[in-house]
Amino acid sequence: DAGITQSPRHKVTETGTPVTLRCHQTENHRYMYWYRQDPGHGLRLIHYSYGVKDTDKGEVSDGYSVSRSKTEDFLLTLESATSSQTSVYFCAISADRGRGYTFGSGTRLTVV
């Protein structure tokens, strides 16, 4: 999607290994979000950021950490991947909190 890029698009990793997903935006939007998408659960918020070095937890933050050292980059880290973290991860950006989200194309993560 224009203005927002997620990498990698696909990843297979082993249980217990650390994994970092990257979200990069060119829109200079203040707010950035990480969601996971699972069948029957829709999109659930993991962490969000409202500025450089300003982050907060969402509803499913256990096992995840984030960092935002630059406006354009928001990293999601799984400290020690577990099979329950197998999911599709989406990054979103917005200029206003909670409105006008633009989503990336997602990262499909499989933990084996």
Task: Write out the residues near other proteins by the rule CB under 8 A.
Answer: 1, 33, 35, 40-45, 48, 58-59, 90, 92, 97-106
Minimum CB distance to other proteins smaller for 75 or for 103: 103
Q: How far is the CB of 16 from other proteins (least distance, A)?
A: 29
- How does DSSP classify residue 85? G
Minimum CB distance to other proteins smaller for 17 or for 26: 26
46: left (phi over 0), alpha (psi -120 to 50) or beta: alpha
Q: How far is the CB of 75 from other proteins (least distance, A)?
A: 18
Read off the tokens for 60. 């499913």
Q: Tell me the CB-side half-sphere exposure of residue 97, using CA atoms within 13 A.
A: 5
